[in-house]
Structure 1
Amino acid sequence: MTKFLRLLVGLCFALMLVPHTSAADAREYVLGSGDVIRVTVFQNPDLTVETRVTENGSITYPLIGGVNVGGLTLQATEKLIADKLRDGGFVLKPQVNVLLLQIRGNQVSVLGLVNRPGRYPLEIANTRVSDMLATAGGAAIGGADVVTLVGTRNGEPFRVEIDIPSLFDPDGIKADIPVQGGDILYIHRAPVFYIYGEVNRPGSFRLERGMTVMQALAQGGGITLRGTDKRLRLHRRNASGVVETVEPDMFMTLQADDVVFVRESLF
């Protein structure tokens, strides 16, 4: 009985050490057009080739000709070339190694108000929006809380706006979608409001979510001794593009590009 238990414990421990290949494979880099690879075959130096993946995702390899490697991991590419060499009778037991030299395919552009705009490679599969924003240094000062993703899915144009703070909500993983090669992420400037008149710091300020007129006055440094919170004026452009003027209360919610005017006290 003791021997059986030892065998059982040893088996369980061994299973714990077995890697979950499906999860690992999902994170491996996949080849795309423009990538440069080196292919070597053990004890066959004549089959060493450095080549670039073409636009249609293929390479040309000695003896076997065109090989479609686009969308394959390095391990899958090694197996494909080895199978073709063996099935063609060129190498009896080929041991193929594929090394990624340059990443040119599968790049994502991150533009707008981010700290490090540019083009970044997808080094692993299943890279998500939050991963690319982190790579670009996150949103810069003055950047909006929304990122726009533009790309192609299933051959059709694809566009979605993602609320960045919501990515960290309990259900945020649903909005943190994977990106693909050729995608563009763009962060526009944050919405602003304007305040002038009898305030201590007139000017334009970032519009926070749900900001009220009272909070806007605080952002502007408060009302001066000559000003009054009575008879405030708010100028807002409606859906038709016409600027309307209203007399707001302190708890009215502001919208982007609203202009608040604080009058001078009459007494």
Structure 2
Amino acid sequence: MKTSGHWMAAGLLALCAGLAGAAEVLLGPGDVLRLSVHGSPDLSVETRVSESGAITFPLLGQVAIGGLSVAAAERKIGSLLEKGGYLKKAEVNMLVTTLASQQVSVLGQVNRPGRYPVEGRRKVLDLLAMAGGVSAEGGDLISLVRTRDGKTRRESIDVVDMVRKGELDKDVEVAGGDIIFVERAPRAYVTGEVQRPGAFRIERGMTVQQAISAGGGLTPRGSDNGMRVTRRDADGRAVTREVRSSDPVQVDDVITVRESWF
């Protein structure tokens, strides 16, 4: 069951879906373009932007347009046609049929994982909304992987905490090639004399008593005295000790409820 924080984040994601800016898309490698020149049907061509950011255009050969907007690329090709003496006035029209360079991958625990176009200014919440929001198995944390100036960095963002505190400055802008990965919600396990033993989702500030409730509560033979938890220590060794019902639950804990002696 999702907490109020999850519903708050889901509402914001839905709202953000329509709030992206209207800045022009910049062309990049992999984009497929359809070009035509008014009055010169022989100059019509469909081409793909190469890894170096160039296209092949009739009469001109290789033309570098990577990083330009559609309008700027149209002007550049028109200017080259005029300066080369091919046309007195070149009216170039460019249509982007596949926007491959400006796509962000949204993966992990979202309802519609896939690649989504970055049309204009888009932020993390925008892309999560486009991917249908965080799924029931998703956690509060997302990983944002970005490559800038040849260096790849990973940043972790707590989406629910960001929304609760209103710190939307952490809702960073994304660009083509970025990867958003929604982590699976942390899990722990309850076993022994509970109604529904097995894995459960750890909510913020969850206690052992709440974990037992997530397992359906005690069986008629269960005892809330002498409960034990098995967890990994700093060296990765499994250590078992007794816990109280008010103790916090940690990731991958195994809580064992023992049978009452009476």
TM range (shorter): 0.7 to 0.9
Match in the other structure for 2:172: 177
User: What are the superposed Cα offsets for residues 190-224 of structure 1, whole Å, 9 maximum, x if unpaired?
Assistant: 11111111212211100111101121121122222
Equivalence for 1:244:
239
**SS across alignment from 1:115:** coil
Q: Matches of residues 1-267 of structure 1 in structure 2 within 5 Å?
A: 27-122=23-118, 124-169=119-164, 171-267=166-262
Residue type matched to 1:121 in 2? P
Structure 2 distance, partners of 1:53, 1:250, is 62
Deviation at 1:33, TM superposition (A): 1.0
Higher RCO (CA 8 Å, separation ≥ 6 residues)? 2
8 Å CA contact 2:142, 2:159 repeated in 1: yes
- Cα displacement (A) at 1:171: 4.2
Whole-angstrom CA distance in 1 between matches of 2:65 and 2:161: 37
Deviating more after overlay: 70-79 vs 167-176: 167-176
Match of 1:174, as an amino acid?
D
Runs of 4+ aligned structure 1 residues displaced above 3 Å come to: 169-172
| Alignment partners' CA distance in 1, 2:41 and 2:164 | 54
User: Unpaired segments of 5 or more residues in structure 2?
Assistant: 1-19
For residues 21 and 168 of structure 2, what CA distance do their matches in structure 1 show? Answer: 20
1:49 Cα shift?
A: 1.8
Work out the CA distance in 2 between the residues paired with 1:226 and 1:119: 51
Identity percentage of aligned residues: 49
Structure 2 CA distance for aligned equivalents of residues 153 and 140 of structure 1: 29
For 1:48, give the aligned amino acid.
S
1:103 positional shift: 2.2
Q: TM-score, normalised by structure 2?
A: 0.85
Please give the per-residue CA displacement for 1:201-256, whole angstroms capped at 9, x wherever unaligned.
21110011110112112112222222221111111111211112222222211111
- Distance in 1 between the 2:59 and 2:134 partners? 50
Q: Between 60-69 and 156-165, report the one with greater CA deviation.
A: 60-69
Moved more, 144-153 or 180-189: 180-189
Give the direction of change, closer, same or farther, for the CA distance of 1:25–1:224 in structure 2 (3 Å limit): closer
1:198, 1:262 within 8 Å by CA — same for their partners in 2?
A: yes
1:59-86 deviation line (CA, Å, top 9, x unaligned): 1222333221112111111121122223
Contact 1:33 1:106 in 2 (8 A): no
CA contact (8 A) 2:21 2:121 kept: no
Q: How many pairs were matched up? A: 243
Contact 2:33 / 2:98 at 8 angstroms: preserved in 1?
Answer: yes
Choose between structure 1 and 2: higher strand proportion: 2
Q: Which amino acid aligns with 2:226?
A: R
* 1:166 match: secondary structure: helix
Conservation of the 8 A alpha-carbon contact between 2:21 and 2:122: no
Q: Deviation at 1:47?
A: 2.0
